[in-house]
A and B are shown apart, each in its own frame.
Chain A
Amino acid sequence: MKIIVNGVEHELAAATLAAALKTLEYENATVATALNGHFVPARKREEAKLAEGDRIEIVAPRQGG
């Protein structure tokens, strides 16, 4: 199904946010996630089911002022 990851469309078979992170190779990275604009804590990623057209944001530490 089509999932938007960080603004880019992906074709993913993953059923959950946790599975999507694994497919996209973020498994061991320090990242935080949001699904359709809502924060999803790491411990809830297994329960976060994905549906066609969902928007995932995956962020990491970056330089800031």
Chain B
Amino acid sequence: MRLYDVEVASRLLLGTAQYPSPAILAEAVRASGAEIVTVSLRRESGRLREGQDFWSLIRELGVRVLPNTAGCHSVKEAVTTAQMAREIFATDWIKLEVIGEADTLQPDVFGLVEAARILSEDGFSVFPYMTEDLVVAERLMEAGCKVLMPWGAPIGSGKGLNNLFGLRALRAHFPDVPLIVDAGIGLPSHASAAMELGYDAILLNTAVAKAGDPASMARAFALAIEAGRAAYLARPMEPRDMAAPSTPVLGKPSLAG
């Protein structure tokens, strides 16, 4: 899978928040096989230095980071956060979030397109957190995005794929654009379902971090994503309404009496 100019083998992108401890986070990242993890920027206290320890841990894991603009509600906040992230993490990659609604954390797609344009023109590789809207997708592509990240369901909800029809339509309309389902995944079966639709990858966090055993769940997701991808490539059968016997009818002995 190619994301901007980077070739990536693992189709699971993992978030780094909400784990019971840094050690469990590290264990989960290793178990997931993820090559990309998402990170954020937050205020640093001069004395506590929480960020420095976290950054050391991530660097030890040897993974590529995808910084986010989580919590930004305006274009200006998101753009400034992206600029700060580029300097700290030394990457042009940015998971662009411009949040439009507090209860659903759904993206403000108008602000998203504007911020995506500003950042793309400034040399960023933008990974936009978006709804599955086809027109928004088109506008984001025009703005310079080469990867799209529609939500499955609201962030942290674990509800899976809320709009299968919309996700399928998005896949069909953009056959050559890397599509990553970002947010709302709760179970490996949800991730597998998205991969079976032909999605290129899954970005998730809470489903692993809040599992009773995050490392085992990370492994379960890795397997499910691999299985879903293999199923997609194997071209699934067409479903039908009525039964069709799988055992041959011809040659059945007449035993009814």
Residues of A near any B CB (own CB < 8 A): 6-7, 24-26, 29-34, 37-39, 41-42, 57-65
Contact = CB atoms under 8 A, between A and B. Distances in A.
Given A30-B52, A60-B52, A39 B47 contact: no
Contacts of A42: 87
Contacts of A34: 80, 84
Contacts of A63: 15-19, 25, 39-40, 54
- Which residue, B39, B49, B87, has most C-beta atoms of chain A within 10 A? B87
A37 B80 contact: yes
7 contacts: A6-B44, A32-B41, A32-B87, A62-B42, A63-B40, A64-B16, A65-B40
B205 A59 contact: no
A61 B39 contact: yes
A21 B185 CA distance: 41
B41 A59 contact: yes
Given A30-B88, A60-B88, A37 B39 contact: no
Given A32-B84, A32-B87, A65-B155, A60 B42 contact: yes
A59 B206 CA distance: 23
B46 A39 contact: no
Contacts of A61: 39-41, 51, 54-55, 58, 88-89
Contact of B51 (A30, A33, A38): A30
B67 interface: yes
Q: 9 shortest A-B CB distances, which residue pairs?
A: A60-B51, A64-B40, A65-B15, A32-B84, A60-B44, A65-B205, A63-B17, A62-B42, A39-B83
B44 A39 contact: no
Contacts of B52: 29-30, 60
A29 B39 contact: no
B214 to A, nearest CB: 13
Contacts of B40: 61-65
Given A29-B44, A61-B58, A62-B42, A39 B80 contact: yes
Contact of A64 (B17, B44, B49, B87): B17
Nearest to A29: B52
A60 to B, nearest CB: 3
Given A34-B84, A38-B80, A64 B43 contact: no
A57 B16 CA distance: 23
A37 B75 CA distance: 12
B98 to A, nearest CB: 15
B76 interface: yes
B32 interface: no
- Which residue, A6, A32, A34, has most C-beta atoms of chain B within 10 A? A32
